[in-house]
Structure 1
Amino acid sequence: MTLWILIIAERSKITVLPIKDKKKKPLFVGELVVQTTSSGPRPHKFKVIKDRKGEFHPPSEFTDLLRTAQRILIAKDGDDKQISTIIDMLQGFQLSADMVNVCRFCLLRNMFNFLNRKSFRYHREKICEECAKEELSRVLMSSQLHYSEEACERLESILLKTKDLDRTLLMLSPEELDHELTRFDSIAASKDISGSKIKDLPINRKFKDLLIEKSETLLPVQSLSVESGLLRGQNQLVTSVTATGKTLIGELAGIENILRKKGKLLYLVPLVALANQKYDQFTGRYSGLGINTSLRVGSARIKVSKNDRSRRTLDSDIIVGTYEGIDYVLRTGGADTLGHIGTVVVDEVHTIEDAERGHRLDGVIARLKYVAPDAQFIYLSATVAKPALMAKKLGTQLIEYEYRPVPIERHLVFCPEHSKIKIMTRLVREEFSKVSSKGHKGQTIIFTNSRRNCHRISEALPMYSAPYHAGLTSEERKKVEIGFGKGKLPVVVTTAALAAGVDFPASQVIFESLAMGIEWLNMQEFLQMLGRAGRPDYHDRGEVVLLAVPNKRYTGNQGDTEDAMALKLLKGEMLHTSVDYGEEEKIEEILATAAVTSSVSDLKRIHVNMLADYNVNVLLKKLERYKFLHKKSDNIALTRFGKIAAGHFLSVSRAFLIRDAVLMEQSPLMTVSNLEFFDAVYFKNAARISAALNINLPSRVFQGASLDILFEGENMERLDISLRDQLFDFASDFLTCNCKGSPYCGCAEHKFSEKIIHIRAEGYDPAGIVRKLESLYGITAYPGDVLGYLDNVVRNLDAVEMIAKAYSKKDIASEAHKLKKQIEG
């Protein structure tokens, strides 16, 4: 047994700790009283404390302990007078002691631990690792923010890395950002893969000269694609992170095929905003080569701007369209109008795994392969969980490039909600003050979880900023895109719209929220968003900052808190999800495919190539029973009803709803307002109302208990008369049903949707509709949302009109046609 005696000399007492075998916990705690004798200082009283009970022992026991011990230690930083007395006493016994640095926090707990160069700094002194951990844990447990287990582990890892508890605790005061500590990791730039010389490419001379104006060499992923047969017609799935040059791969194949007279280019994207941006880019870039570009983005039937001069004809060399915009042409029997297709580029192809839209992208790809069997197909994505599996299912070659074009740093900041604006302000200002070696200022994208938050945050930031989301008009979005592109706008605040590929050259991405709506981001969405940070043509590096609120949840049934979710996203990997659809989605795709072929065997071949499993025979029988198509031997033909359903993207249930309403001679207005509510409306004066009632009123009109809160008699009386009058008008117009479930029965949303349609029929554009709603009821909406809703109303009225004609309901058809024209404008 090894025995050490540690003596701690304080002014009021001397503590003795016998240490067995170098363990931290002593055999007992002793208290020593020394008296001065003629022979010098000697033990006078010796008290032994065990299990919180003290008992005096003969002083000789202490002397025996000293003589038995292999080592006697005296803690430094004790009382100098007492230390001198102890040394004199030991010398009287012909014993010596070592002066040692020990952890003061351990001593307070009657424990023992040495201090050394590896010990932890805290309050201008050093403490041992165990005490540093315990002190950190104590602070976290006493915090009002309730840090998750994952966050506590992260902070402990920072403590162990820095060996500085003071710096670590500053992480809990995020206004004092320490970039060294908030950095979660750094992702290095791509390896030095030499790009092919553009001058050596076997492409059209004018096209080559155009490309050389921007760069003399291809980027690495572009070189890999060319080396793998891109210019020899090879179908490819190209997966690489954002800003590595994937788009040009599609352009290289598409433009060269156009110039070689191999056919036009179809460029498919998921969003209207992205389609508009690509249309502008291709028009400006390739019109000098005599190549014209057109735009196809769904119905786009509402006339709101005289300045929209976008080319819409299908008689163009390049057709940029949304997935649904191109599919509409196929579903309505217009495959031949697309002309000779040489190249199909599908951007953001990972959308094929999306639960809601995946079946339609899967379907349009399969139908395009059928109508353009000789076309070259190029699929592009930054986030595919299992690229090899995706390439196999798409029947294409995989080009995979895993490296970033610029280095990126990812930072995690734990912060309370009220600190976010201050933190974001600092981060945006710091970034905008920097200029890259390419001469570009640093610009920031802030991602948040709702459109209202886009505006709230943008207004709160004390610098020039702008919200950006699908609820804005195309003119408003265009203005933001131009301002950001010219480097004049330091920051844009957005929702998921930007993550899907809209081109903003940002050097910094801030996650103000880790949710979209009330659902946590998934790994694919997260990687799409952080991929917006750092562009090789603009920046030397990218920054990503996650602002995570401990203990925050967006719904009561969310298991994780935001701080825990942040670490899961930063540590996680994409999970592959097997693709399958419900029966309604499968029936819709069979119906759509029957619009491009009259052969059962061909239809089966088309659906064999799709990602989901189709029992075509069973589904065809159902469609035949529903009277959507006729089948005879190997031949199928859509009925008139089936053509309408296919062309209008109607599910079986929705098609039947419209048909039944027509047969009942229900007014078209009631039919379309029942099919789809417009409920994206907000209390314009939500802040004033909340202050007056001393409650947190949800801003959305038809959300939660908003209506119950407002229309309690006592609450209404507490509002000023102007607000009260507007709310009474709202109640009298929309809350007058006798349903038991009122106001949650849907009647209010139905009546409100009819009101939107009526106001449009009076000649108001979407912005005018919003102004009228604000004037009448004190509620507001986004013009882009109104436009999207009216577009859907027109498409549904079109279906009502055509179904009414099919069933000889001329009056209903006429009424639907008249209302449709009024809404179109």
Structure 2
Amino acid sequence: MTLWILASAERSKIIILPIRDKKKKPLFVGELLLRQTDVGPRPHKFKVKTDGEGEYRPPSEFIDLIRIADRIMIAKGGDDDQTTRFIDMLQGFQLSADIVNACKFCLLKNRFNFLNRRSIKYHRDKVCEECAREELFRMLKSSHVNYGDEVCQRFEDIMLKTKDLDRTMAMISPDDLDRELTKFDSIAANTSVPKGMIKDLPLHKSFKKILLEKSDTLLPVQSLSVENGLLKGQNQLVTSVTATGKTLIAELAGIENILRKKGKMLYLVPLVALANQKYDQFTKRYSPIGIKTSIRVGSARIKTSKNASMTRTLDSDIIIGTYEGLDYVLRTGGADLLGHVGTVVVDEVHTIEDSERGHRLDGVIARLKYIAPDAQFIYLSATVAKPALRAKQLGAKLIEYEYRPVPIERHLILCPEYSKVKIMTKLVREEFAITSSKGHKGQTIIFTNSRRNCHSIAEALPISAAPYHAGLTSQERKKVEIAFVKGKLPVVVTTAALAAGVDFPASQVIFESLAMGIEWLTMQDFLQMLGRAGRPDYHDRGEVIVLAVPNKKYSGDKGDTEDAVALKLLKGEMQHTKVQYGDDEQLEEVLATAAVTSSKKDLEKIHSNMLADYNVDFLLNKLARNKFLHKKDDLISLTRFGKIAAGHFLSVSKAFLIRDSVLVGQDPLVTVSNLEFFDSVYYKYAARISAALNVNLPSRVFQGASLDILFEGENMDKLDITLRDQLFEFAADFLTCNCRDSPYCGCAERKFSEKIITIRAEGYEPDGIVRKLESLYGITAYPGDVLGYLDNVVRNLEAVEMIAAAHSKREISLRARSLKKLVEG
């Protein structure tokens, strides 16, 4: 056993810590007082403390203690006079001591630890790791924020890496961003795969000329695709991060197949915004060589002055369409109208795992394989959890390229909500001040969780910024896209829903929120969104900034907080999702497939190509019992009722609802407003109302307690007369039902939906409808949302018209047709 004595000199006394076997906790804590004698300083009083109690012991015991000690040490930085007297005393006993660097925080806690190269800087001094941890966690706890374990570990990791507690704690309120500390990780660029030369590709001369105007070489993933049979008709699943060149792979196959007379190209996308963008790009790029492009999306049913110029015919070389837009052609018996299909491109194919839309994408792929068995299928995605398995399921060869074309850095900034705008402003300005070696300014995409936030953030930033989301009209979105691509717009604020595909060549992505609505982002969503940072033909690197508010939640008191979610997303990997559908979804898909084949055997074959498991016999029998189809031996045929349901994307339950409404003679306007509410409506003056009532009014009109707040007690009297009149008008028109649970009975939403349809029937375009709502009620909506809703109204009215005719309800059918024409415009 070894015995060390550590002395720490204070002004009036010397603390003595006997250390056995190098342990941090001493045998006891002693206090030594010295007195001056003729022979020099000598022990005068020696007090020993154990468990807080003190007892004076003979000074001779202290002398015996230091005589048997293996080592005597004096803590550096103590009182100089006392230290000198202690050394003189030791010399009087022919003893010596070492001056050592001991942790002052440990000494204050009556324990011992050396300072060394692992020690942590704190307040211009150093402390040991243990004390630094204790102080870190004390400060985190006293910050009134309930930091989760993972986040605390993140702070500790940064402290141990930097050896600087002050610098680490500055991250709690990051007024001055320390990029070295906020950096979570970096992903290096890798372009090790050889780049093929475009001039060497066996392409049509005119097509090759277009490609060479942009580049002489293929990007790595494009080279891999060509090497693996792209130009020889090989079906492929191409998985690679955003901006690696997947779209051109689709074009290489599709355009060349068109020019070789192998058939037209169908290009399927999940979003109308993406369809519009691809339509514009392909029209501009390929019309000079005689290739015609058209578009098929849902909103084609609603005629407006601004969308009349888009080509929508099926007699085109390239048909760009949303999944549902092209499926509608098949469901309504228009497969033959598509003509000879040579290439089918499915962009963002990971949507097949989506709980709401996945079954429809799965279904349209299987049906297209049936009607175009010789076509080449190209599937594109940046985020597939088990690509080899998915490629096998889709009958395609996997082309996987795992590396980014430019390096990317990912940063995590833990910050209070109120500091986000300040931080984002700084980040956006710094990025826009940088010009890449390709001559492009740094531009930013900010992702947030709601459309309203898109606008409020864009307005709050003291720099040119624009909101961008599906609620805007296609013309509004296009204006933003053009300004961004030209480098004139430093920042776009958008929602997670538009993360997929839409082409914004940004060098920086900022996550203002880690939610979509009130639900946390999935790993796949997160990777899809951060993949927007850094484009090889624009930028030298990409930046991803995650702004996370400690302890923030979006719904309820349970579940993770935003800081914990941030770390999970940054550390996580995608989880493979097994594709499964409910009964309604399976019935809808079997009904849709029966629109393209009259053979039960073929129908079974089509559904065997789908990812979910189908009990085809059970589903066919159920549809037959409910008079959606006829079935005899191998022959199946849709009834009139079944054709209507299939062509209008009606679930079985929705089809029954329409039929029952028709049979009781319900007005078609009431029927369609019952089928689907329009509730994406907001208080235009929510901020003014909140200020007047001194409450935080939810911005959505039909959200939670907003109606209760407005019409409670004397609240209306606190508003200015114009607002009060508008809200009373709203109440009179929509809140006058006698239901027990009014206003949460659904009557208000139904009546409001009727109002939207009625205003459209009067000849107003979507933006005109919005202006009228603002004028009448002081509430607002997004024209794009209105357009999408009206498109569904048209489909539902058409279903009402046809089902009424099928049941000889001529008057209902005529009223539905008349209203449909007015809504179509």
Q: TM-score, normalised by structure 1?
A: 0.99
Q: Report what 2:741 is aligned to.
A: 741
Deviation at 1:115, TM superposition (A): 1.0
1:644 aligned counterpart, secondary structure: helix
Contact 1:693 1:718 in 2 (8 A): yes
Question: Which residue matches 2:110?
Answer: 110
Alignment partner of 1:233 is 2:256:
no
2:689 matches 1:689:
yes
Q: Which amino acid aligns with 2:344?
A: V
Verify the 8 A CA contact 1:508 1:544 in the aligned structure 2. Answer: yes
Cα deviations across residues 7-44 of structure 1 (Å, max 9, x unaligned)? 01111221000011111111110000101111111001
2:278 corresponds to: 278
1:481 is matched with: 481
CA distance in 2, matches of 1:709, 1:287: 56
Hey, what's the Cα distance between the residues in 2 that align with 1:654 and 1:803?
12
184-193 or 273-282: which moved more? Answer: 184-193
Give the match's secondary structure for 2:42: strand
Q: CA distance change for structure 1 residues 312 and 583 in 2, over 3 Å: closer, same or farther?
A: same
The aligned residue for residue 715 of structure 2 is 715
Matched with 1:498 is 498
2:471 is aligned to 471
Letter in 1 for 2:559: G
Name the stretch that deviates more: 503-512 or 76-85.
76-85
The residue type paired with residue 114 of structure 2 is: F
Q: 1:299 to 1:492 in 2, by over 3 A?
A: closer
**In structure 2, how many angstroms separate the alpha carbons of the residues matched to 1:768 and 1:641?**
36
8 Å CA contact 2:514–2:521 kept in 1: the answer is yes
Question: Secondary structure, in 3 states, of the residue corresponding to 1:500?
Answer: coil
Given that residues 298 and 791 in structure 2 are in contact (C-alpha distance below 8 angstroms), is that contact kept between their aligned partners in structure 1?
A: no
Q: Counterparts of 1:239 and 1:54 in 2: how far apart (Å)?
A: 73
Question: How far has the Cα of 1:776 moved from its partner?
Answer: 1.2
1:49 and 1:65 mapped to 2: Cα distance? 15
SS at match of 1:570: helix
Q: Structure 2 matches for 1:644-659, cutoff 5 A?
A: 644-659=644-659
SS of the equivalent of 1:81 reads helix
Contact 2:299/2:788 (CA < 8 Å) preserved in 1?
no
Shift of 1:194: 1.7
- Contact 2:674/2:750 (CA < 8 Å) preserved in 1? yes
Residue number in structure 1 paired with 2:260: 260
C-alpha distance in structure 1 between counterparts of 2:304 and 2:465, whole Å = 26
**Segment of structure 1 superposing worse, 796-805 or 755-764:** 755-764
1:671 matches 2:675: no
1:541 aligns with 541
**1:243 paired residue number:** 243
CA–CA distance in structure 1, aligned partners of residues 165 and 689 of structure 2: 45
Corresponding residue of 1:390: 390
Q: Secondary structure at the match of 2:301?
A: coil
- Specify the alignment match of 2:661 in structure 1: 661
Counterpart of 1:444, as a letter, is T
Q: Is the 8 A contact 1:472 1:782 kept in 2?
A: yes
Match of 1:67 in 2: 67
CA contact (8 A) 2:173 2:416 kept: no
Amino acid at match of 2:74: I
Q: Distance in 2 between the 1:781 and 1:296 partners?
A: 25
Q: 1: distance between equivalents of 2:308 and 2:38?
A: 108
- Secondary structure, aligned partner of 2:596: coil
Q: Counterpart of 1:728 in structure 2: which amino acid?
A: F
Q: Structure 2 CA distance, aligned partners of 1:482 and 1:519?
A: 31
User: Would the aligned equivalents of 2:12 and 2:33 in 1 still touch at CA under 8 Å?
Assistant: no
Q: CA 1:128/1:306 → structure 2, altered by over 3 Å: closer, same or farther? A: closer
Contact kept? 2:24, 2:111, Cα under 8 Å: yes
Instruction: Report the equivalent of 1:360.
Output: 360
Residue deviations 1:525-546, cap 9 Å, x none? 0000000000000000000000
Aligned length: 825
Matching residue of 1:152: 152
Matches within 5 A, 1:295-694: 295-306=295-306, 308-694=308-694
Query: How many angstroms does 1:718 deviate by?
Result: 1.9
- How far has the Cα of 1:119 moved from its partner? 1.3
The reply to whether residue 290 of structure 1 matches residue 319 of structure 2 is no
Is the Cα–Cα contact under 8 Å of residues 145 and 416 in structure 1 kept in the other structure? Answer: no
Per-residue Cα deviation, 1:185-235 (whole angstroms, up to 9, x for no partner):
000001422211111111112211211111111111111111111111111
Aligned to 2:100: 100
- Measure the CA separation in 2 of the matches of 1:809 and 1:346: 41
Post-superposition offset of 1:299: 4.7
Query: Partners in 2 of 1:302 and 1:373 — Cα distance?
Result: 33
Kindly provide the amino acid, as one letter, of the partner of residue 631 in structure 2. K
Q: Show structure 1 runs of 5+ residues with no match.
A: none
Gaps of 5+ in 2: none
Q: Give the drift of 1:246.
A: 0.6
Instruction: State the alpha-carbon separation in 2 of the partners of residues 11 and 306 from structure 1.
Output: 85
Contact 1:299 1:795 in 2 (8 A): no
Report SS of the residue matched to 2:379.
Answer: strand
The 8 Å contact of residues 236 and 399 in structure 1, kept in 2 or not, is answered as: yes
CA displacement 1:366-414 (0-9 Å, x = unmatched): 0000000000001000000000110111111111110101000000000
Matched letter for residue 621 of structure 2: K
**SS across alignment from 1:504:** coil
Residues 574-627 of structure 1: CA distance to partner in whole angstroms, max 9, x if unpaired? Answer: 000100100110010000000000000000000011000001011000110110
**Match of 1:49, SS?**
strand
Residue of structure 2 in register with 1:89 after alignment: 89
Code of the aligned partner of 2:772? K
What do the CA deviations read for 1:74-107 (whole angstroms, capped 9, x no partner)?
1111111111100110000000001111111111
* Conservation of the 8 A alpha-carbon contact between 1:272 and 1:322: yes
Distance 1:121 1:51 in 2: 31
Moved over 6 A (4+): none
Partner of 1:802: 802
Aligned pairs for 1:2-151 within 5 A: 2-151=2-151
**How far off its partner does 1:558 sit?**
3.9
Q: Is the contact made by 1:431 and 1:442 (CA closer than 8 Å) also made in structure 2? A: yes
Give the aligned residue type for 1:171: M
Residue 308 of structure 1: CA displacement?
3.7
What secondary structure is seen at the aligned counterpart in 2 of 1:364? Answer: helix
TM superposition shift of 1:284: 0.8
Moved more, 762-771 or 371-380: 762-771
Measure, in 2, the Cα distance between the counterparts of 1:609 and 1:279: 29
Considering only aligned residues, what root-mean-square deviation do their CA atoms show, in Å? 0.9
Amino acid at match of 2:94: Q
Are 2:470 and 2:498, in contact at CA under 8 Å, matched by a contact in 1? no
- 2:107 aligned counterpart, secondary structure: helix
SS of the counterpart of 2:714?
helix
Supply the AA of the counterpart residue of 2:112. Answer: F
* Aligned partner letter, 2:751: K
SS at structure 1 position matched to 2:146: coil
Letter paired with 1:481: E
Q: Which amino acid aligns with 1:9?
A: A
What amino acid does structure 2 have at the position aligned with 1:489?
Answer: L
Q: In the TM superposition, what is the alpha-carbon distance from 1:822 to its structure 2 partner?
A: 1.2
Q: Structure 2-normalised TM-score? A: 0.99
CA distance in 2 between partners of 1:194 and 1:573 (Å): 28
Percent of pairs with identical residues = 78
Partner of 2:781: 781
**How far is 1:720 from its partner?**
2.0
Aligned mates of 1:311, 1:347 — CA distance in 2: 21
User: C-alpha distance in 2, partners of 1:88/1:342?
Assistant: 98
Q: Specify the SS of the correspondent of 1:370.
A: helix
Residue 72 (structure 1) shift: 0.5
Instruction: Determine helix, strand or coil for the equivalent of 1:555.
Output: coil
Residue of structure 2 equivalent to 1:706: 706
- In structure 2, the residue matched to 1:186 is 186
Q: Is the 8 A contact 1:734 1:748 kept in 2?
A: yes
